[in-house]
Amino acid sequence: MALPDHPFERFAAAQRPGLEGELRRALPETSPDTLARAVSDAVLSPGKRFRPLVALAAGELASAPAETARAVAVATEFVHAASLVLDDLPSMDDARRRRGRPALHVVHGTATAELVAVLLVARAFELVGGAEGASPATRTRLTRELAQAVEACCSGQGDDLAARPDALRLEDLESIHARKTGALFVAAVRGGAIGGGAREAELEALTRFARNLGLAFQITDDLLDLEGDAEVMGKDRAREGHRANFARLLGAESSRRLVEELSAAAVEALGPLGRRGRVLADLARVVRERRA
């Protein structure tokens, strides 16, 4: 029996070693050692690396210079890692575990964790602002895209903290997650493509893809929060039961249906890109089938 064709997994397997190396090389140089170790722990702990891989795939489809795509990918992952560190803080979700390990603030303390987040965000902007292979205009645009994503993350987190889970409407939940998680996903896809000088029509298609898939990703996340195996997830579920959640709002079955439909809509959005979109299209399948 022939093996199924899974372009994203092939792409990820090819890119991951280089990406891990790049993440390591791009870590901000800092002192004292405890802070440097904390930064390293925050970034290099095992993760799925969806966002940087998506940025690299978008860069490839837009024929972006490899250095530019890598800069966008690493910057995106740094911002994501920073957001996780902040999210786990006692003042926020107060999570004790992340990526199968004790949360960063549990190991290094809250103050250090806060510094790590700031350092990573700063380093992310430094990377895109000086991305090799990109023109000054492209660098400026990449910086603006990333800044908008960070702003959206912050405002989404703010709303999430202020929200009363039992009073949230679907629109509120979407608004929170579109900013808190979706915005960075969109920035990763758009950033990779902008690095290659993608046309507006292509960026629009990629944005549609990222928005639909980002929401599918979040709903899957929420389903896993409620039904997944905590050990496999590597997350602390103690606080998850108190947060507003798509799966709780829609029901498990409807949530699964919506994940499928959003994934299909994401694939359909890539239509104008033709075969160049095959890796990202396969990512939709990965999101739909993910169990952790």
Partner 1 sequence: MIGAPPVALDEARRRLRELGYLDGRVDRFLFRRAFEGRGGLFLPAVVLSAFAAALASTAAVESSEAGFGASLAAVAVLFVHLFLADLVPAALAALVASKLADRARAPGALAAAAALAAAGAVVALWVGGVWSLVRNLPARALLWGVPIAAAAFVAATAVRGGVLARAYAHSRVLPSRRRSRFALASAALLVLAGALTLLGLRGEAVPAPPPKPSPRSGAVVVIAVDGFSDGTEAEAGRDLADLFAAAATGWWPAHPASPPEIWTDLATGEPPESHGVRALERVRPRFSPAAVRAPLGTSWYLRRVGPALGLVRGAPVSASDRRRLAFWEVAASAGLPAQAVGWWASGAWPGAEVVSNEELLAGARDGLGADRRARDLFRRAVGGERIRTVYLPGLDILRGQPEARRAALAETASFLIEEIRAARTRGDAVVVLAASSHPAAASLGRMLVFDGAERKTVRIREEDVAPSILARAGIPVSRDLAGRPVDALFAPGALDAETVPTYGARVAPRETRRSTDREYLEKLRSLGYLN
Q: What is the dihedral of CA 57, 22, 20, 97, to 10 degrees?
A: -100
Q: Measured from the CB of residue 10, what is the shortest distance to partner 1 in angstroms?
A: 12
Q: Measured from the CB of residue 285, what is the shortest distance to partner 1 in angstroms?
A: 7
Is residue 208 a contact residue for partner 1 (CB under 8 A)? yes
Longest dimension (CA), the chain: 55
As a whole number of angstroms, the distance between CA 110 and CA 126 comes to 25
**Which span sits near partner 1 by CB under 8 A: 95-103, 122-130, 132-140, 280-288?**
280-288
Choice from 24, 144, 242, 275 touching partner 1 (CB under 8 A): 275
Confirm if 141 and 194 have CB atoms less than 8 A apart: yes
Of 7 and 129, CB closest to partner 1: 7
**Which span sits near partner 1 by CB under 8 A: 64-72, 116-124, 128-136, 247-255?**
247-255
**Which span sits near partner 1 by CB under 8 A: 34-42, 105-113, 116-124, 246-254?**
246-254
As a whole number of angstroms, the distance between CA 159 and CA 284 comes to 28
Is residue 248 a contact residue for partner 1 (CB under 8 A)? yes
- 3-class state of residue 4 by DSSP: coil
Q: Measured from the CB of residue 32, what is the shortest distance to partner 1 in angstroms?
A: 46
> Could you give phi then psi for residue 131, rounded to 5 degrees?
-55, 125
Is residue 211 a contact residue for partner 1 (CB under 8 A)? yes
- Token pair for 289: 């089938």
The CA-to-CA distance between both ends of the chain, in Å, stands at 27
As a whole number of angstroms, the distance between CA 50 and CA 38 comes to 22
Rg of the chain (C-alpha set)? 18
As a whole number of angstroms, the distance between CA 206 and CA 269 comes to 7
Is residue 282 a contact residue for partner 1 (CB under 8 A)? yes
Q: Measured from the CB of residue 198, what is the shortest distance to partner 1 in angstroms?
A: 13
CB atoms inside a 10 Å sphere around CB 217: 26
Choice from 92, 147, 154, 264 touching partner 1 (CB under 8 A): 264
Kind of pairing, strands 97-98 and 101-102? antiparallel
**Which span sits near partner 1 by CB under 8 A: 1-9, 26-34, 141-149, 232-240?**
1-9
Is residue 180 a contact residue for partner 1 (CB under 8 A)? no
Is residue 212 a contact residue for partner 1 (CB under 8 A)? yes
Is residue 12 a contact residue for partner 1 (CB under 8 A)? no
Choice from 10, 24, 101, 257 touching partner 1 (CB under 8 A): 257
As a whole number of angstroms, the distance between CA 179 and CA 150 comes to 9
Site of tokens 């994503």? 149
Of 173 and 184, CB closest to partner 1: 173
Give kind and range of the element (H or E) at residue 98: strand 97-98
Is residue 250 a contact residue for partner 1 (CB under 8 A)? yes
Choice from 44, 232, 252, 292 touching partner 1 (CB under 8 A): 252
> Could you give phi then psi for residue 258, rounded to 5 degrees?
-65, -35
Residue ranges binding partner 1 (CB under 8 A):
4-7, 170-171, 174, 208, 211-212, 215, 226, 247-254, 257-258, 260-265, 267-275, 277-278, 281-282, 284-285, 288
